[in-house]
Amino acid sequence: AQKITQTQPGMFVQEKEAVTLDCTYDTSDQSYGLFWYKQPSSGEMIFLIYQGSYDEQNATEGRYSLNFQKARKSANLVISASQLGDSAMYFCAMREGGSKRGSTLGRLYFGRGTQLTVWP
Amino acid sequence: NAGVTQTPKFQVLKTGQSMTLQCAQDMNHEYMSWYRQDPGMGLRLIHYSVGAGITDQGEVPNGYNVSRSTTEDFPLRLLSAAPSQTSVYFCASSYSTDPNTEAFFGQGTRLTVV
């Protein structure tokens, strides 16, 4: 089973509108972290926002917020007031806690990404 | 503040050639890792290290070798390049393996094997 699922290969939004990028995750750990990264066409990975599994409040960073629904195991990224510069690939990722061995230690699990296009 | 520095940014290799992708970080991070990114696949873990002298395999380690002689450097070696290794490679570092720690990424290396 996939640890991170992003079901939207592509999304389109008009400038100044809000958009939600979906992410669901699968873990049996109580302690884990959820991350969103942005990858523009230039290729670098830019950290956007983080949510810890024990955090009761949804994380916010400027125009980015993370809609964390623990019971549903979802961690959707909300971008408010979209800008043309928001056009990029967006990746949801998870790092698990607990006692890990082997290839899972410290590993970030990534979804397959959502390509967001903002049009004027 | 340089963060994670990855070189080269682009590379073309012939099948069978070997090369080393360099990765250095100046944040005194213990945990370093290499990922490869293929279209539609997200990022997959190749190798990782939890400190100098300690490395281990990730999800897709075959054809790659790593070492960690210092905290700062974590090079990735392709032993005998194959077309299946055409990909974008990212080095990442974080303070620890704690789930609450952010990973910092290098700029990426776009590798083509012909």
Per residue in A51-108, pLDDT (tens digit) is: 999 999 999 999 999 999 999 999 999 999 999 999 999 999 999 876 565 556 788 9
For chain A, give the mean pLDDT: 93
Q: Do A97 and B43 touch (CB under 8 A)?
A: no
Q: Which residue does chain A place closest to B91, by CA atoms?
A: A45
**How far is the C-alpha of B44 from the C-alpha of B37, rounded, in Å?**
7
**Nearest-CB residue to B45 (from A29, A53, A103):** A103
| Residue ranges of chain B with per-residue pLDDT less than 50 | none
CA atoms within 13 A on the CB side of A88: 21
A99 near B CB under 8 A: no
**How far is the C-alpha of B35 from the C-alpha of B58, rounded, in Å?**
9
Q: Which residue does chain B place closest to A46, by CA atoms?
A: B105
Q: Do A110 and B43 touch (CB under 8 A)?
A: yes
* Predicted local confidence at residue B40, as pLDDT: 81
Cis check for the bond before B99: say yes or no (omega within 30 of 0): no
**Nearest-CB residue to B100 (from A52, A91, A102):** A52
